[in-house]
Amino acid sequence: MEPVVDTRWLRAHPEAVIADVRYYLDGRPGRAAYEAGHIPGAVFVDLHAALADPPSPQRGRHPFPSPEHFAQQLGALGIGDDDTVVAYDDTGGMMAARLVWMLRAIGQPAALLDGGIQAWDGPLETQPAARPPQTRTPRQWPTERLAGIDEVAETTAPLLDARAGERFRGEQEPLDPRAGHIPGATNVPTAGNLAANGRFLPPEELRARLAGTGLPADETPIAYCGSGVSACHLLLAIEHAGLGTGRLYPGSWSQWSNDAERPAEKDG
Residues marked active site are found at 225
Reading across the β-sheet that carries 85-88, which strands appear in turn? 4-5, 110-113, 85-88, 17-20, 43-44
Q: Are 5 and 14 in contact (CB under 8 A)?
A: no
- Residues 6 or more apart whose CB falls under 8 angstroms from that of 240 comprise 2, 3, 4, 200, 203, 206
Find residue 224's DSSP bridge partners: 161
State how beta strands 222-224 and 247-248 pair.
Answer: parallel
For the chain, the maximum distance between any two Cα atoms, rounded to a whole number of angstroms, is 54
φ, ψ (nearest 5 deg) of residue 222: -115, 130
Residue type, 132: P
Q: Are 87 and 100 in contact (CB under 8 A)?
A: yes
Distances (CA, A) of 140 to 52, 169, 200: 15, 35, 30
